[in-house]
Chains A and B, each alone.
Chain A
Amino acid sequence: MRTALGLVVLVAAVAVGCGGPLQLQTVSADTAGVVTVLSGSAITLGFVVAPLFGGSGDPMDPRAFRGFGLSSGRLAAALAAAGMLTVPVLAQTAVAVCFAVLWIRRGAQWPVAVVAAALGLITCLLAARVLRSVAGLFLAPRRSRELTGALLVGLLVLVIPVAVFLVSLQWNGRIPGTLVEAVRILALTPLGAAWALPWRPAALTIVIAVGTVVLLAAAWWALVHRALHTVEPPAAARGMGGLGWFAVTPGTPAGAVAARSLLYWLTDARYLANLAVLPVIAVVAMVPLMIVGQPFAWVVLVPAPLLALFLGWLPHNDLAYDSTAIWLHVASGVRGISDRVGRLIPVGVIGTVVLAVVIPVSVGLHGDWAVAPVMVGVCASLFLSGLGFSSIASAAAPSPVTHPGDSPFRQPERTGSGGALAQGGVLLGSLLVSIPAVWWGWLSFADRRFVGVAFWGGLLIGAAVLAVGLAIGALVFERRGSRLLELAEAA
């Protein structure tokens, strides 16, 4: 029943997908290009993402064909060809044919249109095979509630900005220029290059489209080869039950620290209280500016950098939250860098998700999408450098916090001013190193050439400060070693 229903929906979708493009003959080339590239990229993305969420058990698992003694190359080709006969690929074939017909009728040279459709189709096909195989290798042994949640969040981070972008467009009966601009960028990505070939047959587009297929084919061959020539150690799959996040993160010291921190960030009221403050900050920052009469289009740009600053500052005292349980890290002689990196993973993930939602929304409300790269640059500079400074501060100057299990709103007893110094230092430091990004952003309003400078400059500064902060933090952590526990006991 469900299969039948699915089939009906699919047939309907294919009918729309085929019928739609064929009516595009009369519209402008840009409109046709936008529609084909957008829908083609979306479908390709679907082929990439779906295997990650699919259930276990691949009927065309290369390992199942081990007994036939085929060479890796032949088996890879055979399995890829067999993949043509799956329902999603057949449906996509129909759509690709319609795209080709559309472009030929519109006057594109027929070899270009056919090759483009074939490349697009092969990209989808191979992407699905490769992702399915990779998912079987890395995800199947870790399949758990936590993993599905993490994947969903990842998907949202991708989808939300796109959705916000599409919603914010001003259509006015024609394709907005911003959208055409965005699709041009999409045409230079592996997702859209093949579909964009008949629209803009530039050399770069061809290289990207063909290169994508070649790389995917190579990856597929390598995966088949691996499946045929290695025996999976059963130990990896065994006994990972009941480990929660620990089964999701890599089995390294840093991965374990990350899993433990994630578990605490998501369950400990003291961390959750920090997160609960986030929306308050976003709103509270805007109100006074609105009251004094600043235009909404500008005020709406304020929360994102503010949140980035706060998120980067959040872990400046995370070591103290462990209280005396930190002895385990000291006694096991864990590398400072593992501890430092692992601890930043949760806030890094949460911060990225929050910013990935807030930045597009505020830029959408602002109205001019050219601000988006600038915002990304400024926020990255603030957030990443904040994490870098926090990494040093939390190892160098843990200050008293509420004890585990106490109410998050209970004030700890504070002695001395070391903690305040660290708190202020982290804030001030990340503000200082972000001045260039902000300055470039400011310049970009007058001169659009600075948009790129602000974007890359902000990202690079943030990344550099983060790297240096991690290195210094790791050094401090290892040098202090046993002193940390005394501080924790005092805290």
Chain B
Amino acid sequence: MDAAVTSIDGIIIPPKPPLPAAPPLPTGDLDDLVIPPKPPLPVPEPVPVPEPEPVPEPEPVPEPQPVPEPEPEPEPEPEPVPEPEPVPESEPEIAPAEPADTDPQVAPIAPSARARTGMPAVTVRGLTKSFGSTAAVAGIDLTVPAGTFYGLLGPNGAGKTTTLSMISGLLRPDQGTIEIDGVDMRRHPRDIARMIGVLPDRLRTFDRLSGRQLLFYTGMLRGLDAGIVTSRIGDLARAFDMVEALGRPVSDYSAGMTKKVMLAGALLHSPRVLILDEPFEAVDPVSSAVILDILTTYVDHGGTVILSSHGMELIERVCARVAVIVAGQVLAEGAVDDVRGELTLEQRFLQLAGGLSDVEGLEWLHGFSD
């Protein structure tokens, strides 16, 4: 786990508060890492203590304070979820940290992924797209703050993929504007292409190439230096645990493996924003945990991830904000806690998507034919 994270950035994750006993179990590790993105809850005790910092010694970084959170929103969160550990304690006291302090630390780590704090990474206004007479997307507005996990939820055919394709620049909107970091997509498509990493769903890839060739190809198309690309491919292969699989043609891969190699391709140029359509579909739990870990570190360093998924539990766990899209429109948007209210996210989702109540006319299924 740790090796994976390290090799991606070449640097150890910046000091998560205490991070005391990193459990060997991936999930345990993740829970620790996942803490940051939390919605705006009122600060219970801002406690701007000058930070005695009880656990300074394992830190290789020379900094006086760990102050890791590049969190654009200075919302501290006292861990609303169970976890009655002492850990969250330290969280709020760090959170109000001056952004000026975070900058010098984070900037050298992942310069390109570093989002300008406070700016929305992705802004979508009045997006529409129809195929023939059917409106796949009927006026969607989204604002994704930099340095967050952002989830798109929606039933099948709700327009999630269409929306993500348009944000990825793969599909031209009928109407509406898309801005990434304040850059207009219609006017500067190539600048946008450099800023984002894309993992589409259901699109082919050049599957006659071996995994290594496909990644190399992706890097070359992005205009990266060949030496950098080969070394990054090595790092990603180790992180994603597919060193020996890279020699085989992609057409021989399972669906999950293909996802993984394409995700690796989306990361190659260390983009500001990652747009992932169903990144965990068909991916085994261990790989999912690794990917989540990598993405969490990425977000901690200021990167922004927009993903769509049907895994409610996963979205609930990792995403700071969600948008529920039904029939091409955003029915609910905001911090996860605001959206779900008293319910679980899944219950709330079913409520919005109008699921259970209208299943009628299947009475014949209740009596068996033979």
Q: Interface on A for B, CB 8 Å cutoff?
A: 233, 235-236, 238-240, 242-244, 246, 251-253, 255-257, 259-260, 263-264, 267-268, 322-325, 327-334, 404-405, 481-483, 485-486
Is B218 a contact partner of A328 (Cβ separation < 8 A)?
Answer: yes
In the assembled complex, the Cα of A263 lies from the Cα of B216 at a distance in Å of: 14
Q: A405 — which chain B residues lie within 8 A by C-beta?
A: 251
Which of B35-43, B69-77, B201-209, B304-312 lies on the face that meets chain A? B201-209
Q: B279 — which chain A residues lie within 8 A by C-beta?
A: none
Q: A255 — which chain B residues lie within 8 A by C-beta?
A: 220
Nearest A-chain residue to B131, judged by Cβ: A486
Q: A324 — which chain B residues lie within 8 A by C-beta?
A: 203-204
Cβ of B200 within 8 Å of any chain A Cβ, yes or no, is yes
Nearest CB in chain B: distance from A108 CB, A: 53
Is B227 a contact partner of A481 (Cβ separation < 8 A)?
Answer: no
Nearest A-chain residue to B189, judged by Cβ: A481
Is B170 a contact partner of A333 (Cβ separation < 8 A)?
Answer: no
A-B contact count (CB 8 A): 119
Q: B200 — which chain A residues lie within 8 A by C-beta?
A: 327, 331
Q: A244 — which chain B residues lie within 8 A by C-beta?
A: 210, 213
Which of B101-109, B190-198, B283-291, B335-343 lies on the face that meets chain A? B190-198
Q: Using A236-B227, A331-B169 as known contacts, list a sample of 20 further A-B pairs with CB atoms less than 8 Å apart, ordered by residue number in A.
A: A235-B227, A242-B246, A243-B212, A246-B216, A252-B220, A256-B216, A256-B217, A260-B206, A263-B209, A264-B208, A324-B204, A327-B203, A328-B217, A329-B221, A332-B218, A481-B169, A482-B169, A482-B170, A485-B203, A486-B171
Nearest CB in chain A: distance from B38 CB, A: 31
Is A331 a contact partner of B170 (Cβ separation < 8 A)?
Answer: yes
Q: Interface on B for A, CB 8 Å cutoff?
A: 168-172, 189-194, 196, 198, 200, 203-210, 212-213, 216-218, 220-223, 225-228, 230-231, 233-234, 246-247, 251, 265
Is B208 a contact partner of A263 (Cβ separation < 8 A)?
Answer: yes
Is B220 a contact partner of A333 (Cβ separation < 8 A)?
Answer: no
Is B169 a contact partner of A325 (Cβ separation < 8 A)?
Answer: no
Nearest A-chain residue to B171, judged by Cβ: A482
Nearest CB in chain A: distance from B306 CB, A: 14
Q: B169 — which chain A residues lie within 8 A by C-beta?
A: 330-331, 333, 481-482
Q: B223 — which chain A residues lie within 8 A by C-beta?
A: 253, 334
Decide if the interface of chain A is mainly helix, strand, loop or mixed: helix
Cβ-neighbour of B204 out of A325, A330, A483 (below 8 A): A325
- Known contacts A239-B231, A325-B203, A330-B169; is A268 also within 8 Å of B218 by CB? no
Q: A246 — which chain B residues lie within 8 A by C-beta?
A: 213, 216-217, 220
In the assembled complex, the Cα of A239 lies from the Cα of B236 at a distance in Å of: 14
In the assembled complex, the Cα of A331 lies from the Cα of B167 at a distance in Å of: 10
In the assembled complex, the Cα of A257 lies from the Cα of B222 at a distance in Å of: 11
Cβ-neighbour of A236 out of B192, B198, B226 (below 8 A): B226
Is B203 a contact partner of A233 (Cβ separation < 8 A)?
Answer: no
Is B231 a contact partner of A332 (Cβ separation < 8 A)?
Answer: no
Q: A327 — which chain B residues lie within 8 A by C-beta?
A: 170, 198, 200, 203
In the assembled complex, the Cα of A416 lies from the Cα of B36 at a distance in Å of: 54
Is B206 a contact partner of A333 (Cβ separation < 8 A)?
Answer: no
In the assembled complex, the Cα of A332 lies from the Cα of B192 at a distance in Å of: 9
In the assembled complex, the Cα of A197 lies from the Cα of B91 at a distance in Å of: 88
Cβ-neighbour of B221 out of A263, A334, A485 (below 8 A): A334
Closest 3 interchain pairs by CB?
A: A333-B193, A235-B227, A256-B220
Is A322 a contact partner of B172 (Cβ separation < 8 A)?
Answer: no
Is B170 a contact partner of A238 (Cβ separation < 8 A)?
Answer: no
Is B209 a contact partner of A242 (Cβ separation < 8 A)?
Answer: no
- Known contacts A240-B230, A323-B204, A328-B205; is A253 also within 8 Å of B171 by CB? no
In the assembled complex, the Cα of A481 lies from the Cα of B205 at a distance in Å of: 17
Q: B206 — which chain A residues lie within 8 A by C-beta?
A: 260, 264, 322, 325, 328
Nearest CB in chain B: distance from A49 CB, A: 27
Q: B198 — which chain A residues lie within 8 A by C-beta?
A: 327, 331
Is B217 a contact partner of A260 (Cβ separation < 8 A)?
Answer: yes
Q: B171 — which chain A residues lie within 8 A by C-beta?
A: 482, 485-486
Is A253 a contact partner of B204 (Cβ separation < 8 A)?
Answer: no
Nearest CB in chain B: distance from A311 CB, A: 22
Is A331 a contact partner of B204 (Cβ separation < 8 A)?
Answer: no
Nearest CB in chain A: distance from B330 CB, A: 22
In the assembled complex, the Cα of A329 lies from the Cα of B226 at a distance in Å of: 18
